[in-house]
Structure 1
């Protein structure tokens, strides 16, 4: 089969690899129908890397597939089922898992980062990672179940109340998912801060009350003018903007840190956080959001397919990487 293989130090290739086989009782053999490129993939391929990964691994942790065969212990899945994959495999036995914090699992591994993932024609995943989804859900929407589950987890952590104001830093796919979710939940105003004009225009089409360019606007003044006190909630969807977020949130407000980058090291004014009683909340993947996301996508919300601006064949994935790095795409779907 053909697959996108990570070699380390920013090196990768589309290569022929043996097709995977069922080896464990709980294995599920999958035919990948569609995948998408995540910002994490770009971080992995950066030099120096912004996210760790195992050299030799087939990349891709956002994908939708069809079940081909299952191991003997699998009961909830059958050949022909359309499925989406939660790529983060937890042990269920460590202290964090037993406390209910599975996203903090001490033995976690991730398909497409540390184990072979979905940027390939075929994949094998453990049954616990595989969620059945209606075949009526468009492929472009279904392939974004994983990132949206992480966004929903962050949304739940933010303790949002309808009518609160939200400012989102970054209008990449994650920032735009936050925009769709907060707008639907009754946030006002929802302001998006983004340098790339292409992404600002997309934010406006998706309902942003303001799409602001930090190279043109005085963002702190703009947010204060629109919200009177500062935003109730500020989301850093980039992963490097905590100091900026602290200047935009109101006293007593919440800052949600979603984006991640190993290279992000910024000086902070701890006094400012304490004096203004600002809650700074990290948010990492998800714990219980995935089944809820499947139901939401089956119900037609949110229309995540609107974020897919480009589609490429697996062999042309390099063009997808280029488009995303240049800020010329929102989400790139990959067809194996």
Structure 2
């Protein structure tokens, strides 16, 4: 079969590889229907790499598929089920797993980054990584389960109250998922800060009340005019906006740091945090959030499929990566059954 294989040094190849087979009693063989391109995939292919990955691994950690075979121990899914994949595999026995923090696992690994993932017609995954989802859910919606699960985890930390005013910094794929979730949970005014016209328009189309270009306006002045006190909640979905987020939150407000950037070294006025009793949270990937994510997708109340801008065959995977690099797409789905 053909697969999208990471070769190291920024190189991605569409090459022939053996079809995977079940080798263990807890293995499940999937026919992959869609796999999404993530910003992490783009970072993996940078030189030097912005994110580590295993050379020789099939990339693609956001995917959905059909169970076509399973090991004799597997009880949670049946042949013919559609499943979404939690690609983050944890050991369950390390010090953090035993504290109930599997997303901090000391032996953490990931399908589609360190192990073979979804940019291939078939994939073998452990049954513990799979969650059944109704076939009535549009396939494009199901394909966004993994990124949505990360946002679901983050949203739990916010203690969002109906009517809270929220500033969302960044309207990339994750920022726009936050936007949809904030609307579904009854946020008041949602103010998005985004300089890229393409992303800004999509944010407006998806229901942002106000979209500000920080290159054109004084965002703090505008936000203070709108909210009077500052935002109840500020979300940094970029990864280098900590100082800005602190500046935009009201006294007693909440700042969520979600985006990640290894090179971000913010200069902040630390006294702001205790003096104004700001609540600062970080959030990393999912944390027992896939069951809730599946329920959200099945409800239809959060139409994440609206983020899908491109659907491409496997043979155009590099084209999809390039579209992401140019900032001309939001969610790009790869169909590995087509070349």
| 8 A contact 2:184–2:301 mirrored in 1 | no
Q: 2:66 — aligned with what?
A: 66
The separation in 2 between residues aligned to 1:243 and 1:82, in whole angstroms, is: 43
SS of aligned partner of 1:280: strand
SS of aligned partner of 2:188: coil
Q: CA deviation at 1:323?
A: 1.4
The separation in 1 between residues aligned to 2:92 and 2:154, in whole angstroms, is: 22
Q: 1:137 — aligned with what?
A: 137
SS of aligned partner of 2:287: coil
Q: Please, which moves more after superposition, 274-283 or 149-158?
A: 274-283
The separation in 2 between residues aligned to 1:220 and 1:93, in whole angstroms, is: 46
SS of aligned partner of 2:96: helix
The superposition leaves residues 105-155 of structure 1 with CA deviations (integer Å, 9 ceiling, x where unpaired) of: 111111111111111111110000011111111111001001001101100
SS of aligned partner of 1:161: coil
The separation in 2 between residues aligned to 1:44 and 1:71, in whole angstroms, is: 32
The superposition leaves residues 167-202 of structure 1 with CA deviations (integer Å, 9 ceiling, x where unpaired) of: 111111111111111112111110111111111111
The superposition leaves residues 25-72 of structure 1 with CA deviations (integer Å, 9 ceiling, x where unpaired) of: 100001100111011111211223222222221111100100010011
| 8 A contact 2:62–2:85 mirrored in 1 | yes
Q: CA deviation at 1:263?
A: 2.6
SS of aligned partner of 1:270: coil
Q: CA deviation at 1:276?
A: 2.3
SS of aligned partner of 1:95: coil
Q: CA deviation at 1:77?
A: 1.3
Q: 1:13 — aligned with what?
A: 13
- 1:6-85 aligned at under 5 Å gives the runs 6-85=6-85
Q: Does 1:98 align with 2:98?
A: yes
The separation in 1 between residues aligned to 2:13 and 2:273, in whole angstroms, is: 45
The separation in 2 between residues aligned to 1:263 and 1:13, in whole angstroms, is: 28
The superposition leaves residues 79-118 of structure 1 with CA deviations (integer Å, 9 ceiling, x where unpaired) of: 1111100001111111211221111111111111111111
Query: Which consecutive residues of structure 2, in runs of 5 or more, have no partner in the other structure?
Result: none
The separation in 2 between residues aligned to 1:186 and 1:75, in whole angstroms, is: 38
| 8 A contact 1:43–1:261 mirrored in 2 | no
Q: Please, which moves more after superposition, 217-226 or 46-55?
A: 46-55
| 8 A contact 2:12–2:318 mirrored in 1 | no
Q: Provide the aligned C-alpha RMSD in A.
A: 1.2
| 8 A contact 1:10–1:46 mirrored in 2 | yes
Q: 1:301 — aligned with what?
A: 301
Q: 1:89 — aligned with what?
A: 89
Q: 1:127 — aligned with what?
A: 127
TM-score normalised over the length of structure 2: 0.96
> How many pairs does the alignment contain?
336
Q: 2:236 — aligned with what?
A: 236
TM-score normalised over the length of structure 1: 0.97
Q: 2:191 — aligned with what?
A: 191
Q: CA deviation at 1:269?
A: 2.4
Q: 2:202 — aligned with what?
A: 202
The separation in 2 between residues aligned to 1:251 and 1:56, in whole angstroms, is: 50
| 8 A contact 2:103–2:285 mirrored in 1 | yes
SS of aligned partner of 1:244: helix
| 8 A contact 1:50–1:261 mirrored in 2 | no
| 8 A contact 1:29–1:70 mirrored in 2 | yes
| 8 A contact 1:58–1:112 mirrored in 2 | yes
SS of aligned partner of 1:247: helix
SS of aligned partner of 2:72: coil
SS of aligned partner of 2:131: strand
The separation in 1 between residues aligned to 2:327 and 2:312, in whole angstroms, is: 16
